[in-house]
Structure 1
Amino acid sequence: MTKEQYLKMRNELLAEVDGLINGGDVENANTKMAEVTALDNQFEAERTAQANAAALRGAPVVNLSSVTAPLMDGPEPIPVFASFGNVTTEAELHERAFYNFMVNRPSTPEEKAVFDQVNTDYRNAVQTATDHQVVIPETVTAKIWQEIADAHPVLQDIFKTFVPGDLTLIKDDDSITDAEWIDEATSAEGDDVGFGTVELTGCELPKAVDVSWKIKKMAMSDFLNYIARKIAEKMGNAIAKSTFTGKGKPGEGDTFKAQPKGVVTALNAEAGTPQVITFATADPLTYKKITSALAKIKSGYLGSGAAIYADNATIWNELANVLNEMGNPYFVPDPTGAGVGRMFGLPVKEEAAAEGNILIGNYGRGYAMNVNQDITLYQEDHIKARTTTYMSYSIIDGDVVTNKAFALIKKV
């Protein structure tokens, strides 16, 4: 009914109510008032229905044909991650399909097509036929590397290359003499141009993360962030440690596995250890010992990118307690800068991988790291334990380009 019809009928009923009350017929008056209430309810119901119908006419039509998973009854229906709109990039499809793969949920045909193509291309490129290894989406890989860099300043300072397969880097030979000025009557002195090389052939780095099935019920973005953080924690610890104390490639009779070679390892192995300064409890760390270490670094490497690396205990037990003649520390806390403080014009960076060593130098220019194969993932479900193991796998190598970019202060 229209509003005009409603008001007309209501007024007529109210007039009858008034007549009955005035005539003393209260019982019939109450009956008529009930009719007024019923009329009000009917009009309100019709108005609500009209508003809902208008809203439906103005809303977009949902295409249910794009939903490929069946609707199911039960306490845990399978979520369907089909998009009712247009997906803008293949990266989004790959990320959704990767998430569905990790939590054992179905993907849309579009997501599955992108997922299969990415992994097929990867397997063809690395010449492997395994179906268990999957490519991690670039967005997730970027999160992993960022988490690693945030936790380990040394890995933030190293310039990494991403060259598949073996990589040979050419470095200058520090023993080459400088060119000399001459006049027309003087013949030029010959000098062979010498170069050294750094061979980065790759070292395998698998790291496993166990996740309970309850964790897999998290929303996609939260779950992927969680997995990225856990993988980054384990990978980052291993990679950062290798840049300090990694043993390098095993020789004849060695039993350790191939790993990147660390700066501390290289400096300790050098004949006569010219880049190493020592101190002890009876011979504590002093201003002179630190300046002697700085003097061992070749000119040019103490500029942009140079830093002092030490773990938390060493910073506060050793570096922060080196005092001048007035009893003031040389170390200046500055958590707003690149590290936890500054000393001799250099940022002091807290790096757990330093493990008691004080390493001064320039990792950006004095160390090379190549990711021969970026991070991929394996997974395995454990039904009895109700857990899933995700194993990240990558091939990484690193080595010192020049010892002259570093100086080591160690406690003996």
Structure 2
Amino acid sequence: MKDYLEKRGRLMAEAKAALDSGDLVLAKEKREAIEALDAEKEKYDKEAAGLNALMAMEAKAPTHVEDKSVVVPDLASAAPAAKMDVSAKERELEAFKAFLVGQPYDAAVLRKAPDVSNSANQASSNAVIIPETVRETIWKEMGERHPILNAVRMTFVKGDITIIKESSSGDEAAWYDEGTKVVDGTFGFATLELNGYELAKAVPITWMLKKMSMDAFMPYIISLIAEKMGNALARAFVEGKGKAGDSDSWKSQPQGIAVALEAETSTPQIVTYSASDDIDYDKFCDVMAKIKSGYYSGCAIYAKNTVIWTKLATIKDADGRPYFVTDPTRGGVGRIFGLTVYEEDAINDDEILVGNVSAGYVANCNENVSLYQEDHVTDRYTDYMGYAIIDGKVLTTKAFVLIKKAS
């Protein structure tokens, strides 16, 4: 872990230096190196977790079994059967399926999730960390529903983290001769604190509905949790109010991009339109001009479906030809001025967000998605609660422009 943190810190510093100097090729190489390092760390953690699970199962194996093989329940039929040919990951997945529908499962395989403050979910036996393969499905489905989540740089670091960012770029370098003293620069640094705020969604499922097969029930419940948590997370990344003060009525949450832009003095990164001054070619040129150089590559446009087809798709040139080009092959619904347009329901009505999300916004998942469940016997239903700890903030507002209807 020490080597990992040291190497990652060094790469982050090198990437920052490359980005500050305008060397985008080197900055990209460092970013990819950081992502590769994080991927290796994740592989290590998964292998360690799998090995620990195997060791725990071996320790609990019956003493009369000479080869110390582990006998686990056949969860499909609830009858005991040997599972010697399946991997630890497959055993974890089968145990998770059984956990969802209340069948017996091998508790040594599933990792326990931490207790949460909600008194209704204090029983640690009702909380498990969702298996890696299922978590990947949840994040993937969130990204399919909300393209902005795919663009956010998400790290998975335990605890609060501090990110160093540029507060002022200062003067450019200058040329000197041998006898001239180099003038001190005015380059400024600032820090960005990423804490952790609880994101949770409870989904009540009737016992009759739980009677469906495990293979059908797991995708159903996972899709529900991915939809509800994805909606809230994408909304927070756009309109989140940030950390709540003592007198605030909302709960602490990530800082939204639109909120950060609207909080700036004179709102330089906001362009408005009205019925008498609608979005046209000239106004969109004004929008593009507000994106700081270096951030344009990687920019995209995010808006609700109605705004895309009533505003963006109707912008025409002098000959009446639309600038908007439908092109779903690039992941969005089309292109305009060279930028991919994504349908993003988290954006407010009558608003359009233009920006480089991967460069201008950062988020950290302090606690990855876990699942809690609680049975209500007399009412015959079960609460399934997805739970995670996440925070996100804007690195630089210069990577974004918000187009909104004038009030």
Give the TM bin, normalised by the shorter chain: 0.7 to 0.9
- 1:138-217 map, 5 Å: 138-217=132-211
CA shift for structure 1 position 140: 1.1
What is the aligned partner in structure 1 of residue 402 from structure 2? 408
- 1:40-189 map, 5 Å: 79-80=77-78, 82-107=80-105, 111-115=106-110, 118-119=111-112, 123=114, 130-131=123-124, 132-189=126-183
- C-alpha spacing 1:101/1:252, structure 2 compared with 1 (3 Å): closer
CA shift for structure 1 position 223: 1.8
The alignment's TM-score, normalised by the length of structure 1, stands at: 0.76
| Contact residue 154 and residue 365 of structure 2 kept, 8 A | yes
- C-alpha spacing 1:262/1:210, structure 2 compared with 1 (3 Å): same
CA shift for structure 1 position 78: 8.8
Task: State how far apart, in whole Å, the 1-side matches of 2:72 and 2:264 are.
Answer: 65
What is the aligned partner in structure 1 of residue 252 from structure 2? 258
| Contact residue 87 and residue 93 of structure 1 kept, 8 A | no
CA shift for structure 1 position 145: 0.6
- C-alpha spacing 1:383/1:325, structure 2 compared with 1 (3 Å): same
Task: State how far apart, in whole Å, the 2-side matches of 1:130 and 1:196 are.
Answer: 42
Task: State how far apart, in whole Å, the 1-side matches of 2:370 and 2:304 are.
Answer: 30
The Cα offsets for residues 255-281 of structure 1, whole Å up to 9 and x where unpaired, read as: 211011111101111001111110011
What is the aligned partner in structure 2 of residue 374 from structure 1? 368
CA shift for structure 1 position 123: 4.5
The alignment's TM-score, normalised by the length of structure 2, stands at: 0.77
Task: State how far apart, in whole Å, the 1-side matches of 2:76 and 2:336 are.
Answer: 57
CA shift for structure 1 position 206: 1.0
The Cα offsets for residues 109-148 of structure 1, whole Å up to 9 and x where unpaired, read as: xx33223xx22xx549xxx985132211111111111110
Task: State how far apart, in whole Å, the 2-side matches of 1:217 and 1:78 are.
Answer: 13
Task: State how far apart, in whole Å, the 2-side matches of 1:299 and 1:218 are.
Answer: 55
- 1:249-288 map, 5 Å: 249-288=243-282
Task: State how far apart, in whole Å, the 2-side matches of 1:262 and 1:370 are.
Answer: 14
Give, as a single letter, the amino acid of the residue that structure 1 aligns with 2:97. Answer: Y
Give the 3-state SS of the residue equivalent to 2:204 in structure 1: strand
| Contact residue 166 and residue 372 of structure 1 kept, 8 A | yes
Task: State how far apart, in whole Å, the 1-side matches of 2:72 and 2:360 are.
Answer: 55
Q: Unpaired segments of 5 or more residues in structure 1?
A: 1-64, 70-76
Q: Unpaired segments of 5 or more residues in structure 2?
A: 1-69, 116-120
Give the 3-state SS of the residue equivalent to 1:92 in structure 2: helix
Give, as a single letter, the amino acid of the residue that structure 2 aligns with 1:331. Answer: F
The Cα offsets for residues 153-199 of structure 1, whole Å up to 9 and x where unpaired, read as: 00011121000111111112234222222222322110244212211
Task: State how far apart, in whole Å, the 2-side matches of 1:367 and 1:400 are.
Answer: 5
After superposing on structure 2, the runs of 4+ consecutive aligned residues of structure 1 that deviate more than 3 Å are 65-69, 81-85
Give, as a single letter, the amino acid of the residue that structure 1 aligns with 2:306. Answer: A
Give the 3-state SS of the residue equivalent to 2:107 in structure 1: helix
Q: 2:301 aligns with which of 299, 302, 308?
A: 308
Task: State how far apart, in whole Å, the 1-side matches of 2:164 and 2:275 are.
Answer: 42
What is the aligned partner in structure 1 of residue 337 from structure 2? 344
Q: 1:390 aligns with which of 361, 384, 392?
A: 384
| Contact residue 123 and residue 129 of structure 1 kept, 8 A | no
Q: What is the aligned length?
A: 331
Give, as a single letter, the amino acid of the residue that structure 2 aligns with 1:100. Answer: A
Give the 3-state SS of the residue equivalent to 2:215 in structure 1: helix
What is the aligned partner in structure 2 of residue 3 from structure 1? none
Task: State how far apart, in whole Å, the 2-side matches of 1:81 and 1:162 are.
Answer: 38
CA shift for structure 1 position 390: 0.1
Task: State how far apart, in whole Å, the 2-side matches of 1:68 and 1:175 are.
Answer: 62
Give, as a single letter, the amino acid of the residue that structure 2 aligns with 1:239. Answer: L
CA shift for structure 1 position 105: 0.9
Give, as a single letter, the amino acid of the residue that structure 1 aligns with 2:87. Answer: T
What is the aligned partner in structure 2 of residue 334 from structure 1? 327
CA shift for structure 1 position 82: 4.4
Give the 3-state SS of the residue equivalent to 1:171 in structure 2: strand
| Contact residue 73 and residue 81 of structure 2 kept, 8 A | no
- Identity within the alignment, %: 46
Give the 3-state SS of the residue equivalent to 1:142 in structure 2: helix
CA shift for structure 1 position 204: 0.7
| Contact residue 78 and residue 105 of structure 1 kept, 8 A | no
